[in-house]
């Protein structure tokens, strides 16, 4: 059975709890990361999206590379590397972009988020350990349904910007108080459903039905919080999508970009 990516590659991904203290040598990752040494980023813009969600747009630093859909270890501004000062953040920019964008919800009011909310243009944060398998091969995955919950839209933006012209895609974005990147993505011709949780099941069924009406069996990419990805992946299974075609990015899980039951 074609289960991707291999478990060994995923489980070696560093997590905040495994990240190096300044005096430690980072654990090597099997993912294609350019560096485990933090690279300085310079903030260009902090943009309010809606509610407590903000986008941080950094100048793209030399030597930092990523695949669409991957995440980074983002270090809080002015801090060293420790459990408290690092979070996984999906990269919202595409590899061809000249900026490096992250969008985050600041509702927790954690010290990490407070450090970011105080960041002003021209000031630095840093990034290391880019990894993850929430990626697409357009040659073998010509049709994709993205199902995102809240800020789970971040890797989807990167994937759409990178591959959107070469694949058939649809989007179901489930959110309570705002739909991240709505204005930008509405310019794309792909069908897009922006719904609250109550509308999710119907929207997913409609999207899959319309793919099938064209003779396409979509891969289903689900990203967001744990309860959301579990519920939406189960829904896709119920609708006949095989596990090998379901990929999840669980924002509250350390096994990134896993195929459903690998
Ligand atoms: C692959 C991936 C991509 C993600 N992408 C995004 C994104 O694009 N946008 C976004 O907003 N969020 C994203 N997240 C979630 C993000 O990493 C944070 O967990 C989330 O933003 C909450 O952080 P917080 O500081 O607000 O909350 P907190 O509750 O302070 O921290 C959240 C988690 O960080 C860890 N942590 C914090 N402090 C410690 C400590 N002292 N010791 C050990 N562990 C600690 C714990 O696992 C904790 O549950 C992603 C998560 C993953 C796994």
- Ligand 1 atom nearest to 134, measured from its CA: 1
Q: What pLDDT, on the 0 to 100 scale, is given for residue 83?
A: 92
Confidence of residue 107 (pLDDT cuts 50, 70, 90): very high
**Does the pLDDT at position 16 exceed 60?**
no
Write the CB contacts of 181 (distance below 8 Å, at least 6 apart in sequence): 92, 103, 153, 157
Tell how far CA 261 is from the center of its chain. Answer: 19
- Tell me which residue of 72, 60, 66, 86 sits closest to 129, measured CA to CA: 72
Q: What is the pTM of this model?
A: 0.87
Across the range 110-119, mean pLDDT stands at: 97
Q: Is 71 in the pocket of ligand 1 (CB under 6 A)?
A: yes
State the distance from the centre of ligand 1 to the C-alpha of 189, rounded, in angstroms: 33
What integer best gives the mean pLDDT of the chain?
87
Q: Is the pLDDT of residue 84 over 50?
A: yes
Instruction: Take atom 2 of ligand 1 and give the residue whose Cα is closest.
Output: 251
Residue 87 Cα to ligand 1 midpoint, Å, equals: 5
Query: Which of 251, 224, 225, 247 lies closest to 236 in space, CA to CA?
Result: 247
- What is the average pLDDT across 154-161? 98
pLDDT of residue 240: 98
SS3 47: strand
Buried b (16+ CB within 10 A) or exposed e, 108-128: eeeebbebbeebeeeeebbbb
pLDDT at 258: 58
* Probe target for ligand 1 pocket from 58, 88, 148, 224, with the most ligand atoms within 8 Å of CB: 88
Tell me which of 50-54, 164-168, 253-257 is least confident. 253-257
Which of 112, 105, 163 is CA-nearest to residue 134? 163
For residue 102, the cross-strand partners are 56
Residue 196 alpha carbon to ligand 1 centre in Å: 23
What is the reported pLDDT for 36? 80
Strands 99-105 and 124-131: unpaired
Asked whether 105 lines ligand 1 (CB < 6 A), one says yes
* Out of 21-30, 189-198, 235-244, least confident range: 21-30
Let me know: does 71 contact 131? Beta carbons within 8 Å.
yes
Angle at 207 between CA 194 and CA 156, to 5 degrees: 55
């Amino acid at each position: 059975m074609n289960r991707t990516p291999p478990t060994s590659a995923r489980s070696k991904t560093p997590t905040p709890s495994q990240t190096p203290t300044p005096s430690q040598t980072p654990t090597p990752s099997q993912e294609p990361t350019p560096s485990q040494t933090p690279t300085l980023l310079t903030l260009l813009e902090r943009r309010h999206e809606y509610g407590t969600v903000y986008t941080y747009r950094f100048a793209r630093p030399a030597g930092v590379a990523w695949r669409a859909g991957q995440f980074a270890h983002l270090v809080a501004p002015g801090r060293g590397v420790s459990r408290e000062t690092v979070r996984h953040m999906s990269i919202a920019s595409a590899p061809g972009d000249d900026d490096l964008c992250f969008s985050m919800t600041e509702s927790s009011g954690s010290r990490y988020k407070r450090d970011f909310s105080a960041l002003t243009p021209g000031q630095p944060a840093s990034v290391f350990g880019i990894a993850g398998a929430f990626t697409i091969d357009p040659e073998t995955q010509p049709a994709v349904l993205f199902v995102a919950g809240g800020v789970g839209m971040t890797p989807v933006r990167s994937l759409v910007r990178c591959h959107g012209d070469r694949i058939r895609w649809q989007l179901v974005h489930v959110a309570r108080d705002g739909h991240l990147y709505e204005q930008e993505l509405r310019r794309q011709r792909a069908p897009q459903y922006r719904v609250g949780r109550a509308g999710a099941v119907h929207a997913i069924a409609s999207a899959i039905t319309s793919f099938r009406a064209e003779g396409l069996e979509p891969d289903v990419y689900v990203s967001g919080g744990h309860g959301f990805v579990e519920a939406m992946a189960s829904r896709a299974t119920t609708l006949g999508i095989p596990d090998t075609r379901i990929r999840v990015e669980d924002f509250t899980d350390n096994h990134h970009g896993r195929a459903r039951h690998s």
